[in-house]
Structure 1
Amino acid sequence: MRFVGVDLAWSPRNTSGAVVLDWDGTTGRPRVWESALGGDAEVLSFIAQGVGEESALVAIDAPLVVPNEGGTRPCDRALSQRYRQGEAGAYPANRARLGPEVRGEILVTRLGGLGFAHTPKVRRQASTRQVVEVYPHPGMVELFGLEKTLKYKARRDRPSAVQWEELERLKGLLASLARGEPAMEADRLLNGITVRGLRGRELKRVEDLFDALFCAHIALHLWYWGETGYRCFGDLNTGYILVPIQPAT
């Protein structure tokens, strides 16, 4: 079984990050990763080559179902209300903002041609080729027990030093997943990255890669625990987002 995380840019003009995990029955480990994928063909090729003919769950951080022309999807509103206190609300997704051809919808269609089903229901430890929509920030609040989201995203009013500090925190939290259940051990990927001193495009690529790695862990978590391990906001008709939770909750 393999698990893919994709931090998909809403526009192919921007780069995307992606990670594929191998699962040996006890631990997930990154087998391939890329921090600067370009257009749809590059993203699809990365997934196809990284997964091959294996069973796989692909978790994509981007809207995959957007029927509304304007406003926001019901799932985005519901998620934002639930995680407002943790500052982990969703960005409003609509076709006016994303364009008439929504990138996530196109990718889902093309993955369907490779045998990937699109459904928000993840069965516990079942053999599957499936794609789902996820969102890392509420997942980090849930799995890392954060009171508020980490402030590692680039903003004009956010100094680079703050980004570096928060990305280092995230790096440590990602490393801590090696002691979790299910375990993900990513030292080979994480130890090759030095955050401090990066700026601009190079810093953005680290953000994207860390998000993609966490999305890959979300995919593993969803599959490992099944329906006891996630909340589903919305549905396949109006749009949905899966958020991982600790199964005890």
Structure 2
Amino acid sequence: MKLIGLDLAWSARNPSGVAVLEGNRDGARLTFSGVLGDDAGLLAFLDSQLCGPSIVAIDAPLSVPNLTGQRPAEAQLAAVFGRFQAGAHPANRTLLGRYNGGVLRGEWLRAALEERGFADDPHHLADPDVRAMVEVYPHAAMVALFGLGRTLKYKQKGQGREALDAAWAEYHRHLANLEQAGPPLTGLEVLLAADPSTLKGRVLKSHEDEADAVMCAYTALYAHCFPERCEVFGSVGEGYILTPTLPQRWKRV
């Protein structure tokens, strides 16, 4: 099956990270990672990939019924992951409506995938014939999967270069360790061969988008293999976020 991760930009004018994994419950291999451009290019790429069982894991709000404030999903996730500094940005129609002429890009993509036979369903990802899309959040996933005490500070937000490079080194180390994880992920050699300490500007941002897309795709693989170790915050109707959760919150089966 294919597990596709999308670090979806809120504006179609900005690039989006994408990663494609191929595999099964025994593990998967990264077969592609890169950045995509506008809506037409994004759909063309997905149409070239989506055949057979697939999960598309998207870091962007797929359903935003509230005009202002935040969704219950963000509040519920913050109650669990806030102490790790892994709360999600508030999603509302006023904020997201500033982009794309008022069209919320995540909702647009959800509708396009539904037309292609995909269900917006975070609850049946273990099915062998699954064809689903889910909203995910890489920072919470990293906290749960990597056992972090707080989120990795690899974003360029006013910090010194030394701290940024240290965060990237740790991020790469955790990604490399996925080869020995359960389920294992291989094929990361090209992505991890890049040295973020030598990158800046748009090139560094593209590397960030690719890495986060890999985390989205791995979240889909993990949820397919271990649904009892994942948690859904919110609801399909009001918007939700699926993420691997803390070990003490696993469902014992």
For normalisation by structure 1, the TM-score amounts to: 0.93
**Map 1:70-81 → 2, pairs under 5 A:** 70-81=68-79
Count of residues in Structure 1 that have an aligned counterpart in Structure 2: 245
Instruction: State the 4+ residue runs in structure 1 displaced beyond 6 angstroms.
Output: none
CA distance in 2, matches of 1:189, 1:220: 20
Asked whether 1:41 is paired with 2:40, we answer yes
Q: Which has the higher helix share?
A: 2
CA distance in 1, matches of 2:178, 2:11: 31
**Map 1:170-185 → 2, pairs under 5 A:** 170-185=171-186
Please state how far the C-alpha of 1:247 moved relative to its aligned partner. 6.4
Contact 1:28–1:185 (8 Å) recurs in 2: yes
Partner of 1:229: 229
SS across alignment from 2:84: coil
Please state how far the C-alpha of 1:25 moved relative to its aligned partner. 5.1
**Residue type of the partner of 2:171?**
L
CA distance in 2, matches of 1:246, 1:80: 13
CA distance in 2, matches of 1:161, 1:199: 13
- Relative distance call for 1:141 and 1:131 in structure 2 (3 A) is same
- Return the match for 1:130 from 122, 132, 139: 132
Contact 1:175–1:190 (8 Å) recurs in 2: no
Q: CA deviation digits over 1:99-136, x for unaligned, max 9?
A: 13110000011111221111121342421111000001
Contact 1:57–1:128 (8 Å) recurs in 2: yes
Partner of 1:62: 60
Q: CA deviation digits over 1:140-171, x for unaligned, max 9?
A: 1111000100000111x212332222112111
Identity of aligned residues (%): 39
> CA RMSD of the aligned region, Å?
1.5
SS across alignment from 1:209: helix
Partner of 2:201: 200
Partner of 1:139: 141
CA distance in 2, matches of 1:65, 1:231: 18
Structure 2 residue runs of 5 or longer lacking an equivalent are none
CA distance in 2, matches of 1:24, 1:242: 20
Please state how far the C-alpha of 1:24 moved relative to its aligned partner. 5.1
For normalisation by structure 2, the TM-score amounts to: 0.92
